[in-house]
Amino acid sequence: MNSNGFINVVGGGLAGSEAAWQAARRGLRVRLFEMRPNRTTGAHRTGNLAELVCSNSLKSDEANTAPRLLKDELRAGGSLLARLARESAVPAGGALAVDRERFSALVTGALSNHPNIEMRREEVVAINTGGSDEITVIAAGPLASPALVEAIGGLTGERDLYFFDAISPIVDGETINYDIAFKAARYGKGGDDYVNCPMSKDEYDRFYDALVAAEKVKPHEGMTDVVEDGEKFFEGCLPIEEIARRGRDTLRFGPMKPVGLPDPRTGREPYACVQLRLENLMADAYNIVGFQCHIKYGEQKRILRLIPGLENAEFIRFGQMHRNTYICSPKLLRETLQMRAHPRVLFAGQISGIEGYTEAMATGMIAGMNAARLARGLATSAPPRESAIGSLTFYLANAGAKNFQPANTTFALLPEIEPELRRRLKRKADRHRFQVERGLKAFNDWLAQIGEGGQATWAQTV
Ligand SMILES: Cc1cc2nc3c(=O)[nH]c(=O)nc-3n(C[C@H](O)[C@H](O)[C@H](O)COP(=O)(O)OP(=O)(O)OC[C@H]3O[C@@H](n4cnc5c(N)ncnc54)[C@H](O)[C@@H]3O)c2cc1C
């Protein structure tokens, strides 16, 4: 890769697409390198940019939640992907979910037609750090190609930083038995966007016993220790068999919790409940929420069909597990997402040590913004700690390096409220509202202060 005068963005996923857009809209010339469709990753299926590899949900869109704060900050920063996510939204109760094909087609169209972006459909296998004109944003994702991972390892001195993630099965909506399954959102919030499969104690026990006895996919050679060591899984994305392994009831307090979902046939909450979420606008495909797993396909079919309402289900995709590559960012990155040792190299997205679609867009936004500032000779800047995006970049640069794990946006990542104010804000909901208002204000003030404010070119749609 030798592209003096250009900002090079490696990877046209969620982070790279947003980074490319942010630099291009500021008038900089961008080369966006995406290896698909010539070479793929094992989880991606198309050659489109910003393909969502698993769930179609960008998490909660409800006011005064941490994921919503993140979306509001993306909007304030003029994010392309956050806007196109709204344009391709499908009903999902209190969450923002998208029609994945429409979303990535819109992103691909917007970037391919941008006069400042040159699309390069090729695999990047080396990273130049020396050229004085050269700026590189590495956003190659958790499934970065092996040759690039090796090049990154050479650059960072950190090798073999990977563990495994899992993806959930998708059910053909026409094969769900609605004599048993019913449509409702938890606590009646958001209409009929979810399909729910209620279970009695006997049905749950049968399912549980089959699950813990299920034959798992054998890990690839050399990866056994990583799969067998539960610590290496990202806690927010544990495979169901791993959750089940931790106790008979853990699923009932996790992805199979029945609270707020009374079965219309009895009027009572069931013993356990499996939720399915709409995958696309055609309402013909449903993701089994939180059911990522690493079980052999034949076994998955047999076990998932033990779920009442899915006894004849056909599966469009089975659950799978994948490698997840990320760097030890507390050792390597500044809060601006520049490498400490090579300030003209920036990281964004999952590979930088964050987790989640929206988080990938957010770090892409900051990396693209800072790459553009570098190119224009301006000081780079980090978003404020109080904001959702700033709390992510703060975490990346300041978390403990030992046992570093990717993080997603939660209230826990935001700074605590001062004890005096905390005493006054007795209700959790009030404390969350305070954190959200403080975060968004800090983010907007920061944008204005560094001269990046007023960039949002699209209206608030919610
Ligand atoms: C299996 C799996 C399931 C996940 N499920 C979810 C989920 O349900 N919800 C959620 O919020 N997050 C999920 N994540 C985590 C994360 O949010 C996604 O991986 C997200 O796509 C990360 O965005 P990204 O831009 O960092 O990477 P990606 O979106 O993967 O983009 C990276 C891009 O770089 C390209 N690339 C790789 N190497 C090269 C190279 N050498 N040269 C050129 N291009 C290259 C790839 O083809 C890809 O297009 C999942 C991750 C995995 C691995």
Give me the pLDDT at residue 401, please.
82
Q: Is the CB of 279 under 6 A from ligand 1?
A: no
Counting from 1 in the atom list of ligand 1, the atom nearest the Cα of 16 is 25
Pick the residue with more confidence: 35 or 422? Answer: 35
* 170, β-bridge pairs: 287, 317
- pLDDT at residue 455 greater than cutoff 70: no
Q: Is the CB of 12 under 6 A from ligand 1?
A: yes
Give me the pLDDT at residue 420, please.
93
Read off the DSSP letter of residue 98.
E
- pLDDT at residue 433 greater than cutoff 80: yes
Give me the pLDDT at residue 236, please.
62
Among 86-90, 127-131, 146-150, 343-347, the minimum mean pLDDT is found in 127-131
Cα–Cα distance for residue pair 255/388, rounded to 1 Å: 25
Q: 208 CA distance to ligand 1 centroid (A)?
A: 31
Q: What is the band of 235 on the pLDDT scale with cuts at 50, 70, 90?
A: low
Give me the pLDDT at residue 147, please.
93
Read off the DSSP letter of residue 135.
E
Handedness of CA 73, 76, 81, 83 (dihedral sign): positive
Give me the pLDDT at residue 388, please.
98
- The pTM score is 0.77
Give me the pLDDT at residue 323, please.
74
Q: Is the CB of 141 under 6 A from ligand 1?
A: yes
Mean local confidence (pLDDT), 40-51: 93
Give me the pLDDT at residue 428, please.
87
Q: Is the CB of 15 under 6 A from ligand 1?
A: yes
> Which one, of 7, 305, 368, lies nearest residue 176 by Cα?
305
Cα–Cα distance for residue pair 54/257, rounded to 1 Å: 21
Pairing of strands 117-120, 285-288: unpaired
- Asked if residues 79 and 92 have their Cβ atoms less than 8 Å apart, the reply is no
pLDDT digits (tens, 9 = 90+) for 133-173: 789 999 999 999 989 998 998 888 755 566 565 678 989 88
pLDDT digits (tens, 9 = 90+) for 270-326: 999 999 998 655 557 888 999 999 899 999 999 999 999 999 999 988 888 767 889
Q: 180 CA distance to ligand 1 centroid (A)?
A: 36
Q: Is the CB of 277 under 6 A from ligand 1?
A: no
Percentage, residues of the chain above pLDDT 70: 89
Q: Is the CB of 127 under 6 A from ligand 1?
A: no
Cα–Cα distance for residue pair 191/68, rounded to 1 Å: 19
Residues in CB range of 265: below 8 A, 6 or more apart: 182
- pLDDT at residue 223 greater than cutoff 50: no
Q: Is the CB of 258 under 6 A from ligand 1?
A: no
Handedness of CA 218, 221, 225, 226 (dihedral sign): negative
Give me the pLDDT at residue 259, please.
96
**1-14 as b/e: b if 16+ CB within 10 A:** bebeebbbbbbbbb
Q: What is the band of 131 on the pLDDT scale with cuts at 50, 70, 90?
A: low
Burial class (CB in 10 A: 0-12, 13-18, 19+), 201: exposed
Residues in CB range of 429: below 8 A, 6 or more apart: 64
- Asked if residues 77 and 447 have their Cβ atoms less than 8 Å apart, the reply is yes
Handedness of CA 203, 165, 280, 348 (dihedral sign): positive
Q: 33 CA distance to ligand 1 centroid (A)?
A: 14
Q: Is the CB of 144 under 6 A from ligand 1?
A: yes
Counting from 1 in the atom list of ligand 1, the atom nearest the Cα of 168 is 8
Pocket probe mutation, ligand 1, options 18, 31, 34, 359, max atoms within 8 Å of Cβ: 34
- pLDDT at residue 224 greater than cutoff 60: no
End-to-end CA distance of the chain: 42
Q: Is the CB of 169 under 6 A from ligand 1?
A: no
- pLDDT at residue 459 greater than cutoff 50: no
Residue 89: CA count within 13 A, CB half-sphere:
17
Give me the pLDDT at residue 335, please.
98
The sheet carrying 89-90 orders its strands as: 57-60, 95-98, 89-90
Q: Is the CB of 357 under 6 A from ligand 1?
A: yes
Mean local confidence (pLDDT), 421-449: 95
- pLDDT at residue 39 greater than cutoff 50: yes
Give me the pLDDT at residue 2, please.
42
- pLDDT at residue 216 greater than cutoff 60: yes
- Count the neighbouring beta carbons within 10 Å of the beta carbon of residue 329: 28
pLDDT digits (tens, 9 = 90+) for 343-401: 999 999 999 999 899 999 999 999 999 999 999 999 999 999 999 999 999 999 998 88
Mean local confidence (pLDDT), 393-420: 86
H/E element, 150: helix 146-156
Pick the residue with more confidence: 232 or 51? Answer: 51
Residue nearest to atom 11 of ligand 1 (CA): 356
